Structure 1
Amino acid sequence: MSRSKCTLLSGALVEQLLDSVDSVLFDCDGVIWRGDQAITGASEVINLLKEHGKKVFFVTNNSTKTRKMYADKMSSLGFNVTADEVFGTAYCCAVFLKTVCRLEGKVYLMGSNAMKQELEAVGVQQVGVGPDHVSGQPIDWANVPLDPEVKAVVVGFDEHFSYMKLNRAMQYLVQKDCLFVGTNRDTRLPLEGGKAVPGTGCLLQAVETAAQRQAQTVGKPNHFMFDCLAAQFGVERERCLMVGDRLDTDILLGSNCGLKTLLTLTGVSTVAEAEAHRDSGSAERQGMVPDYYVESIADLLPALQG
C-alpha cells in the first residue's frame, strides 16, 4: 500500500485498508456523533465492523462521563457497544493512578462526578468534587486546611473551577512528593454552529502556572490511552487504525503509537490544515498528518456492505 500521506480514502483503497487492520479506534464527538445526534451512517459502520470480526474501541478526552454513561449514550443512538470498549480520560486517569503511579493515598480532584466514580471503582478515594467558595483573606487562603492523606492532584473538566480550587490545588502541589496528573490539554470544546467553550487544558494550565509544575497527562495524544486498551485486549499496533476529527489529538495519538490514521471531516480539523502540516518541512508537524481522510466515516459503508 505505497502511497503519500493525507490520501483520500475511496474505492478499492477502503477494502485494502480494512483488510490490513484487526482493530479500529474511534474518537467520539465529531466522529460518530455531534452533540446528541449520531452522524448519519456511523452506527452502521461500527456494527458492521464488528460483524466483520474487527475489534472496535472508543477513545475520548472528555472526562465528564463514565464508561457506562458513554456505552448507554451509544446504545441509545443505535451503536452495538459495551462499556469495556470505551476508554475515556476519567477511566484512564483512574487506571494510570492505580497501575503506573501505584498511588497510595487520596486524590484532590478538580473534576466531575464521573471522574469520582471511576476513581472509586479502582479503589482510589478523592476529595474536592463540587463548589469551593472563597472566604477570609489571602493569609487564610495560604493556610487553607488540607487533607494529609492527599497524595495527588488530578485536573479534569470541572464546571465548578474557582479561585479557591486553584489555590487549594497549589497548596497541595507545593509538597514535592504530591503527584500531579491532568486528563488532557484540549484548550477548547467545539460546539454546534461554530461555537466553543474553554476546555480542560485551560484549567490545567492555570494550575500548572500557580504550582510552577508540569502535570503528566493521560489523554490523547499521550500514548497511555492506547497502552491501556492494548494491554487489556492484546491489540497489535501494526494492525490498528485510529479514526478521529482532530489532528493535534486523534491523529497525533495514532502517529505516536505507530497506528494507521484516518481523518474524518465531520468535526474540527480540515484537509487544508493536514496538508499544511505535511508540506511544512517540520518533523514535529508530520505527526499530525493522517494517512487517509474521508468526508465522513459513512464513506466506509460500501466496502462493509459489499
Structure 2
Amino acid sequence: MTSTGKWTDGVEGILLDITGVLYESGESEAITGSVEAVKRLKEAGLPVRFCTNETTTTRQVLVDKLNRFGFDIKSEEVFAPIPAMCQVLKERNLRPHLLISRNASADFSGVPTDNSNCVVLGDAVDEFSYANLNKAFQILISLDKPILFSLGKGRYYKDGKDLALDVGSFCRALEVIMDG
C-alpha cells in the first residue's frame, strides 16, 4: 500500500466500543465529539463497526437509541453478545434457560427454550431474584454436564452516577456451586 499522506493511510477499518466511547451508561446523550468523530471516520471511507457487551436490551433498540443521539448506525454494523450467543446455541442444538432482561428477550426469538439443557445469563437487572437464580441453579445441577454461558463477566459497572452489580457476579456464584 502506498502512502498518500492522508491520516487514513494504512487503516483498513475501525472498531469502536459503544458504552464509554459513544455514550456513558445511564446517560441520555452522546459523549461530546463522538457523533462528529464517527461521521468523520465514515466520510473518510473507512469501514466502521461497533462492539458492545450490552445485554439489557435488543441490538435494534440500542441502534435506535444511538441514532436518536445523532449517530448514523445500522444494526448490521453493531456486534453484540446476544446474536452471537444465539448462533452458538443453534449450532450446538442447545435449549437455554434464559436469565436475561425482559427487554432483551426479542433477540432470542426463534431459540427453543423448552426442556432446557443449558443456562444463559445476561444483565438481567431486576430479574436477578432469588427465585430466578435458584431456577438456573436447579437446571444446572440437574444436568450431567452442566453448561453455563454468561454474556458478560464484569463484576460491576457504572450506571449513571452509581455502581451496579454486573452479570459476572451472578455467573461466578453459579460457577462456584457447579465446581463443587
Shared fold per TM-score greater than 0.5: yes
SS for the counterpart of 1:38 is coil
Match of 1:103 in 2: 93
**How many angstroms does 1:172 deviate by?**
1.4
Contact persistence 2:12–2:47 (CA under 8 A): yes
Amino acid at match of 1:21: V
Report how far residue 46 of structure 1 moved: 0.9
Matching of residues 61-80 of structure 1 within 5 Å: 61-80=53-72
Deviation, 1:89, is 1.8
Question: Where does 1:1-306 land on structure 2 (aligned, <5 Å)?
Answer: 15=7, 18-34=8-24, 35-99=27-91, 102-104=92-94, 106-120=95-109, 123-126=110-113, 149-159=115-125, 160-174=127-141, 175-193=143-161, 195-212=162-179
Structure 1: unaligned runs, 5 residues or longer: 1-13, 127-146, 214-306
- Contact map agreement 1:46 1:79 (CA 8 A) in 2: yes
Aligned to 1:295: none
CA spacing shift, 1:71–1:46, aligned 2, 3 Å:
same
Report % sequence identity. 30
Q: Kindly state the Cα deviation for residue 83 of structure 1 after the two structures are TM-superposed.
A: 0.7
- Gap change, CA 1:192 and 1:112, over 3 Å in 2: closer
C-alpha displacement of 1:192:
3.5
Matched residue of 2:63: which SS? helix
The SS at the match of 2:117 is strand
Q: Please, what TM-score do these two structures have when normalized by structure 1?
A: 0.52
Q: Any idea what the Cα deviations from partners look like across 1:251-280, whole Å, max 9, x if unmatched?
A: xxxxxxxxxxxxxxxxxxxxxxxxxxxxxx
- Give structure 2 stretches of 5+ with no counterpart: 1-5
Q: How many residue pairs are counted as aligned between the two chains?
A: 172
Code of the residue aligned with 2:80 in structure 1: it is G
CA distance in 1, matches of 2:159, 2:56: 15
Question: Which fold has the larger relative contact order, with Cα–Cα distance below 8 Å and residues 6 or more apart in sequence?
Answer: 1
Instruction: Note the C-alpha offset of 1:210.
Output: 2.5
CA distance in 1: counterparts of 2:102 and 2:78, whole angstroms: 17
Question: How far apart, in 2, do the equivalents of 1:66 and 1:164 lie?
Answer: 24
CA radius of gyration, larger in: 1
Are the aligned partners of 1:185 and 1:201 in contact in 2 as well (CA < 8 Å)?
yes
